[in-house]
Amino acid sequence: MDRNDDRYDLLVVGSANADLVVEVERRPGPGETVSGSDLAVHPGGKGGNQAVAAARLGARTALLARVGDDAHGRLLLDAQRAAGVSVEAVRTGGAPTGVALITVDPSGDNSIVVSPGANALLTPADVRAAARLVRAAAVVSAQLEIPVATVVETVRVRDGAGRFVLNPSPAGPVPTEVLAACDPLVVNEHEARVLLGHGAGDSPGERALALLALGPRSVVITLGAAGAVTADGRTGVVARIAAVPVTAVDTTGAGDAFTAALAWRLGRGDELPTAAGYAARVGAAAVTRKGAQESYPTAAELPPG
Task: Tell me which stretch binds ligand ADP (CB under 6 A): 16-24, 99-107, 231-239, 244-252.
Answer: 244-252
From candidates 140, 195, 244, 263, binder to ligand ADP by CB under 6 A: 244
Active-site amino acid positions: 256
Residue count of the chain? 305
**Site for ligand ADP, residues 136 to 195, rule: CB under 6 A:** 188
According to the binding rule CB under 6 A, does residue 280 interact with ligand ADP? Answer: yes
Nearer to ligand ADP, 14 or 227 (CB): 227
From candidates 224, 240, 250, 270, binder to ligand ADP by CB under 6 A: 224
For 170-192, b where at least 16 C-beta lie within 10 A, e where not — what string?
ebeebeeebbebbbbbbbbeebb
According to the binding rule CB under 6 A, does residue 225 interact with ligand ADP? Answer: yes
Task: Tell me which stretch binds ligand ADP (CB under 6 A): 1-9, 139-147, 222-230, 296-304.
Answer: 222-230
Give me the least distance between CB of 116 and ligand ADP, in Å please.
Answer: 19
Give me the least distance between CB of 143 and ligand ADP, in Å please.
Answer: 10
From candidates 114, 223, 302, 303, binder to ligand ADP by CB under 6 A: 223
Helices (H) and strands (E) in the chain, counts: 10, 14
DSSP state of 59: -
Task: Name which of 64, 76, 70 is nearest 17 in CA terms.
Answer: 76
- H-state helical runs in 123-225: 124-129, 131-136, 148-158, 176-181, 189-196, 204-212
Give the strand pairing for 218-222 and 61-64: unpaired
**Site for ligand ADP, residues 249 to 268, rule: CB under 6 A:** 251, 254-255, 258
* Rounded Cα–Cα distance for residues 174 and 187 (Å): 12
Angle at 259 between CA 254 and CA 262, to 5 degrees: 125
CA-to-CA dists, residue 73 to 44, 45, 63, 257, 268, angstroms: 11, 12, 13, 21, 31
Nearer to ligand ADP, 124 or 224 (CB): 224
According to the binding rule CB under 6 A, does residue 248 interact with ligand ADP? Answer: yes
According to the binding rule CB under 6 A, does residue 122 interact with ligand ADP? Answer: no
Q: Where are the beta strands (DSSP E) in 38-108?
A: 40-44, 61-64, 66-67, 91-92, 98-104
According to the binding rule CB under 6 A, does residue 243 interact with ligand ADP? Answer: yes
Which chain residues interact with ligand ADP by CB under 6 A?
188, 222-225, 227-228, 243-244, 246, 248, 251, 254-255, 258, 280, 283-284, 287
